Structure formats: C-alpha cells, structure tokens
Amino acid sequence: MTRVVVVTSGKGGVGKTTTSAAFSSGLALRGFKTAVIDFDVGLRNLDLIMGCERRVVYDLINVINGEAKLTQALIKDKHCDNLFVLPASQTRDKDALTEEGVEKVLKELEHLGFDYVVCDSPAGIERGAVLALTFADEAIITTNPEVSSVRDSDRILGILQSKSRRAANGSDPIKEHLLVTRYSPKRVEDGEMLSYKDVQELLRVPLIGVIPESESVLQASNQGTPAIHLKGSDVSEAYTDVVARFLGETRDLRFVNYEKPGLIKRLFGGK
Amino acid sequence: MSFLARLFGEKKKTAEIAKNRLSLLIAHERSGAAAKADFLPALQRELIEVISKYVSVNAEDIKVHLDKQDNYEVLEVNIVLPEQTR
C-alpha cells in the first residue's frame, strides 16, 4: 500500500517545500521508494530545492492530460536512487489540476510500487492546496511559531477534516503531525517567540518535530540540495529525527533548548 | 530579559500576548461562529420569498445583520414595509 503524505500549512513561506524535500529524501534514505509531487501549479519550486530544475521535461499537468507517461515525467533524484520528483507545471493554468487527474496519478504511483508519495502543497486554501490534501493518509502541518502561521494552520486542519477523501467517505481520519519550523530557542527563552508547546497546545495536534531556524536552509537551497543532506547541521539532524518519528521510532526532541554560550565561545566566537 | 528590566518591573512578554490572542481566536473560529454567518444571504433570500407572498417588498427592504457581543449573538432582521397606497 502506498501512503500519501501531504505537507501543508495554509500560510506561505513557512517551509513546506524545504520540508517536502528533506522529508521525502529522508524516507528514501531509509530505503523507501518515494515520490515527491509539487502541487504548486504556476509557481513550481520543488525542482529548484531538489536541484533537478534543468532536468524537467514533463510535469504533473502533462501526465494528467495524457501528454506524457508518468514514468517519463518522474525525475530520478541525484542523491537517492529510490526517490523521484514530479514537478508542477510552470505555465499552465491552475484549473488544469483536477481531482480525477490527481487520483489517476496517485493510483499509477501505487502500481509502480511506491511506498510513500509526499505532496508538497501550495500556500493558500484554494484548488491546488485542497487537491494536495484530498487523497492524503497523513498530513504534516508545517507551522512557524508566529500568530498568522498558527491561525492559518488551524484553518488547514479544518479543511483536512472536512474536504479530504477520508473525511468524505467516513474512513479513518487523516493522521495529523505538527512540525514547528524556523524555531529559535533563544527567542523563546526571551519570551519573544511562542514555544513549540504553546503551538501544540493551540493546535492540539501531535508534535512530530521542531526544526531550528538555521542558516543551513539557505545554504541547502542555494545548492539545490535538500537540507537533510547537509551532514552535521542541526537542520539535517532535526529532519532525520522527524523521519524516524514518522516511522514510529522514539526520539527525544533536540535543538529546542537555548544553551548560553560559554566563556570560550563568547571570546572566540564560532558556533 | 536584562537585569535592569527585571528590577524595574518587566513588561509582559510578547510571546504570552501572542498565545492569549491566538487561543481566543482559534476557539472562536473552531466554534464555527465565523462559518455560521454564512447562512445570512440565504436567510435573507428566503425571508424575501416568504414575505413577498403577503406583501410586496424589494430585496433591499430587508436587512439581516448578525452582531456579536461578548458571548452572545444578536440576529437583527429589519423589514421595511412599503407604504400602503390606495
């Protein structure tokens, strides 16, 4: 059985695509045959984050319209042999994305033996965002510790619970996971930022991880390398933990407590 | 929070303000109070239909308004009947 996981948030710029890239790579690194689909028709970016923008020939809409075979459109990832990227269309109108079309593509991915399909949702609550979550079995709600992001996440939770296929046919609800991103333990300690506990208390969704605010995310996107591959960085470790927890392992939360820099660190700088 | 700030009575932390604002807002939005107001246009339409059976009124003669005060809501329906001309 293929599991469909949507990475969603409502608000833009909170780290959906960064998370989709890192999370799908993490699943592939753990040996699962994984596909990651960009649902942001007209504003595709997953290809850039995954570093495969120059290899895009066909896209999701081409497959839906029958202009290309799914196997022609899937781009093999440069880091993982068992990871494939399905880019969004850059030129087509959003209306080209249909529920039947998406369902057909997901069914075909299942026939191809994929273990996981990660759907990178566009921002907002319109067609693309709704279709990205329609067929989901699990959802990663990406949230920044910031008022507008928390509110929009709550809105998306309502949509998951009302508009998804699982909600429509009354089967088990989508399994929801809260991922707090761009987290700054120091600002939380100073009372300037909502803590992950606050966010979780507000949204009432089980926490799957906390990704610290980090310079490595920009470094990763500059190179078109999913952040999970930046060995030794806190972001890479945090995403690795998220994948492990998703697969049912227990991992303590890391990078959530602020450690005051010691004297030597303060004198000589460094991280 | 610096030592001086602590000494002279600290201001409320902004994260706390954010949390309080959000918990009120989310509770309100989850209760569906925001969604409930969606029925207003339909209500207005149906009221016109019913009233039109007895008196001739125009759509703009019926005003439906939902007001929220603390923890109760007031539904105000204002119908202006046309002057009787004989």
d(CA A97, CA A39): 9
Pairing mode of beta strands A175-183, A207-212: parallel
Provide the 3-class DSSP secondary structure of residue A195: coil
Instruction: With a threshold of 0.95, tell me whether the complex ipTM lies above it.
Output: no
| Top-confidence residue, A174 or B54 | A174
**Residue B37: what pLDDT?**
63
Tokens in use for A20?
């989709």
Whether B46 contacts chain A with CB within 8 A: no
Conformational region of residue B70, where left means phi above 0, alpha means psi within -120 to 50, and beta covers everything else: left
**Sequence-distant (≥ 6) Cβ neighbours of residue A264 within 8 angstroms:** none
Which of A11, A141, A148, A150 has the most B C-beta neighbours within 10 Å, making it the best mutation to test the interface with B? Answer: A150
**Residue B9: what pLDDT?**
61
For residue B5, count other CB atoms closer than 10 A to its CB.
10
d(CA A156, CA A164): 11
d(CA A203, CA A205): 6
**Residue B78: what pLDDT?**
86
Helix axis angle, B14-30 to A196-203, nearest 10° = 10
Partners of residue A185 in chain B, C-beta under 8 Å: none
| Top-confidence residue, A143 or B68 | A143
The pLDDT tens digits for A194-246 are: 999 999 999 999 999 999 999 999 999 999 999 999 999 999 999 999 999 99
d(CA B42, CA A34): 47
d(CA A221, CA A227): 8
Residue type, A93: D
Count of CA atoms in the C-beta half-sphere (13 A) of A109: 32
d(CA A8, CA A155): 11
Residue type, B59: A
Partners of residue B26 in chain A, C-beta under 8 Å: 150-151, 154, 202-203
Chain A stretch 169-198, residues whose beta carbon is closer than 8 A to a beta carbon of chain B: 188, 190-195, 198
Mean pLDDT, to the nearest integer, of B9-38? 81
Q: Give the chain B residue nearest A158 (alpha carbons).
A: B30
**Residue B59: what pLDDT?**
76
What are the pLDDT tens digits along chain A (271 aa)? 999 999 999 999 999 999 999 999 999 999 999 999 999 999 999 999 999 999 999 999 999 999 999 999 999 999 999 999 999 998 767 778 999 999 999 999 999 999 999 999 999 999 999 999 999 999 999 999 999 999 999 999 999 999 999 999 999 999 999 999 999 999 999 999 999 999 999 999 999 999 999 999 999 999 999 999 999 999 999 999 999 999 999 999 999 999 888 877 777 765 5
Alpha-carbon distances of A64 from A58, A120, A143, A193, A268, rounded to whole Å? 11, 17, 30, 43, 57
